Chains A and B, each alone.
Chain A
């Protein structure tokens, strides 16, 4: 009898557990807040979520958020940072959920394409604060004539160089490929690593931009490669890989560059063992922190004769701020975005983080930012790598750079990369 009673209790407990679990699971997606901007309309605090990948900017954003919350006491901003390598995976889940990522950052190119295709950007074409931005720097966040996101940062994806070393050796940024090779040779002869190249991670993807910018000036070249109208075995790409190989074979990169990560390459440069760092302007402030005495400049290898060069460098408008179309607090999210877009706040962000911004008339305080800002007047090209729509194709391209450094011929590396692209076209 006692066993029967216990059994009944156990059965009921298990059934209750199962039923409650099913109820919880069933309710998961349907419990929506039907009252739009309920918090705001009732005077209660509205909490918005801001997600991005720049851990190094947290301190500056904390200050800006505090100012925003002071000016808007009914809105609280919760910031979440995910490392850039995992950002795509995390951001997708968060955005789909709709409960977080009211304001979110995204990368231009493939990620912008995926998110806009999924209709997760709220349209911001009519936003008043759009006028605060340089109109020529907004294209990366536009689709079908609609402004879906505002690129906040302006980055130059081309080598940084040590001005002091250049001045000491009487060197100037080169105007053609021969001059670039001579420059590297002089640096090498004087005991410097000419180019610190992080071949293990970001190096190939960064340096290929400036290495190819004048070898093929067609803005649609990657679209053509991805549709099969152009091939990586074409002369321009094989030449680009040959030039990479030349730099490697002449030992202008540090030894074992394929085993060198971004941080280690950065250290070689900050310690003034290397004269150039093949990454981009986004690393200038970090280098300055590591070595406050270092004087920095930007240059790009011109891989053709001076009279054939069309572009002087590479730029990217990135850290694209958008509002989640599924957000329940769109008005508050737009208010926060408008706040970040104000000149004085963009200025605080720029000078606090050492990054150029796309907001107009910002005054830059540091010599590095002032130097980088001079590049706004030069003829630069939007980062071509970001125009490769398919991530597997992008990897095939950057891997071909590693392949020539590992010893393959340019023709062989180009052929292997093209074979992978052919498979992706056929899929």
Chain B
């Protein structure tokens, strides 16, 4: 009994850090969300639930940002998960060439998001960008687009960059999951006359469920918080078409000087992420069990 009490003390430093850097700011944000603090002065007024009412019923941009977030998340989750899984299957064996390609695909992960954003903003540039230039040289001018300037296209262009930057990282998780599948299971299904697709459906996919759960949950949270990439590539524009919740919160607080309202938006953002993540875990947990 005494021994276990002692162990609790080891948790204290971590707990203290968690309380100081997570719980305290979160609670502070919660308090702030009931005020009209504009970020500079030492005076503010309590406004009750006004900020929350405004967020839910009187702010079209918040709804637009949420819709953009969901669009972005869906595209990134679907493509990042499937592409990383395909890469992992193709590069599963530890041959020299596979190890090289794994390292190559993982490489974008180690570049900072801001650098990735600047590189791709330049690639996508309609006037001097290399993408439209290459399409033109290949005789595919018709495919050249205003990648970041077209409000209908911009969010998908950024989603592509997100997938490019992180598919390699997710591939590594899938490779680890795939390599842990016992070879005997494949031998058994192939002896029973299964096709490759049947082997994937009945062995690979169920066995990598824990890895898929991690990949999907991580990708969801990351795509919801893709602040740096969007901020550096489009700043939320044009016409709010790439404004997501995190960039909108930033704009509300630091450009609009409405810290109280931005705090309410942050609380809403936290609840939305928690709900989506919980839903995903429930869904994937059910599947994996």
- Interface residues in chain A, defined as those with a beta carbon under 8 Å from any beta carbon in chain B: 7, 10-11, 14, 17-18, 21, 25, 85-86, 88-89, 92, 95-96, 110, 114-115, 117-120, 199-201, 254-261, 264, 267-268, 390-392, 395, 399, 402-403, 406, 419-420, 423, 426-427
Report the separation of the CA atoms of residues A342 and B98 in the bound assembly, to the nearest whole angstrom.
68
Q: In the complex where A259-B126, A259-B149 touch, is A423 in contact with B59 (Cβ < 8 A)?
A: yes
Query: Per-residue 0/1 for B120-145: is the Cβ within 8 Å of any A Cβ (1 yes, 0 no)?
Result: 01001111100000000000000000
B108 at interface (Cβ–Cβ under 8 A)?
no
In the bound complex, residues from chain A placing their C-beta under 8 Å from that of B252 are 392
Decide yes or no whether B255 CB sits under 8 A from chain A: yes
Q: A14-B12, A420-B61 are in contact. Are A92 and B40 (CB under 8 A)?
A: yes
Given the interface pairs A96-B40, A117-B41, A420-B60, the reply to whether A201 lies near B235 with Cβ below 8 Å is yes
Chain A residues with CB under 8 Å of B58's CB are 423, 426-427
Residue of A258, A261, A391, A419 with highest tally of chain B CB at under 10 A: A258
Nearest CB in chain B to that of A111: its residue: B257
* Contact A259/B147 with A10-B9, A423-B59 known, Cβ cut-off 8 Å: yes
* Residue in contact with A392 in the complex, picked from B12, B38, B146, B256, CB distance below 8 Å: B256
Measured between alpha carbons, how far is A88 from B252 in the docked complex, in Å? 12
The distance in angstroms between the C-alpha atoms of A368 and B44, with both chains bound, is: 47
Cβ-defined contact, A402 with B257, below 8 A? no
In the bound complex, do residue B257 and residue A259 qualify as a contact, i.e. CB atoms below 8 Å apart?
no
For the complex, is B287 an interface residue (Cβ under 8 Å from A)? no
Set of chain A residues within 8 Å of B46, measured between Cβ atoms: none
Q: Mark B201-238, 1 if CB is under 8 A from A, else 0.
A: 00000000000000000000000000000000011011
Contact call A114/B257, Cβ cutoff below 8 A: yes
Within B38-54, the residues touching A (CB, 8 Å) are: 38-42, 50, 54
**Choice from B10, B13, B149, B254 contacting A256 with Cβ under 8 Å:** B149
A399 and B237 form a contact (CB under 8 A):
yes
- The one of A18, A390, A399, A427 in contact with B12, judged by C-beta atoms closer than 8 angstroms, is A18
Q: How far is the CB of B47 from chain A (nearest CB, A)?
A: 10
Instruction: Give the complex CA separation of A260 and B126 in angstroms.
Output: 7
The answer on a CB contact under 8 Å between B234 and A110 is: no
Residue from the list A14, A17, A89, A200 in contact with B254, Cβ < 8 A: A89
Residue of B nearest to A25 (CB): B20
| A-side contacts of B6, CB under 8 Å | 7
* Number of A-B residue pairs at CB separation under 8 A: 119
Q: Is the CB of B239 closer than 8 A to any CB of chain A?
A: yes
A259 B125 Cβ-Cβ under 8 A: yes
CA distance A420 to B12 in the complex (A): 48
> In the bound complex, do residue A11 and residue B150 qualify as a contact, i.e. CB atoms below 8 Å apart?
no
Partner of B257, one of A95, A110, A120: A110
- A173–B218 Cα distance when bound, in Å, is 57
The interface residues of chain A lying within 8 Å CB-to-CB of B16 are 17-18, 21
Write the nearest CB–CB distance from B61 to chain A, whole angstroms: 7
Residue of A nearest to B40 (CB): A118
Known: A18-B16, A256-B127, A391-B255. A402 touches B239 (CB 8 A): yes
Bound form: Cα–Cα A43–B133 in Å: 64
Which residues of the partner chain A approach B124 to less than 8 Å between Cβ atoms?
259
B165 within 8 A of A: no
Q: Which of B135-179 contact A (CB under 8 A)?
A: 146-151
Once the chains bind, are A427 and B54 in contact (CB under 8 Å)?
yes
Q: Which residue of A lies closest to B132 (CB)?
A: A256
Query: Would you give the 0/1 interface string for B8-29, flagging 1 where the beta carbon is closer than 8 Å to chain A?
Result: 0110110010001000000000
A336 → chain B, closest Cβ, in Å?
A: 23
What 1/0 flags go to B251-266 for Cβ under 8 Å of A? 1111111000100000
A406 touching B40, Cβ below 8 Å? no
Chain A residues near B39 (CB-CB < 8 A): 92, 114
Asked whether A406 and B239 contact (CB < 8 A) given A18-B16, A114-B39, A426-B58, the answer is yes
Indicate if the CB atoms of A114 and B149 lie closer than 8 Å: no
Interface residue? B186 (CB, 8 A): no
Q: Within the complex, which residue of A85, A95, A200, A392 is in contact with B148, where a contact is CB–CB below 8 Å?
A: A200
**Which chain A residue has the least Cβ–Cβ distance from B235?**
A201
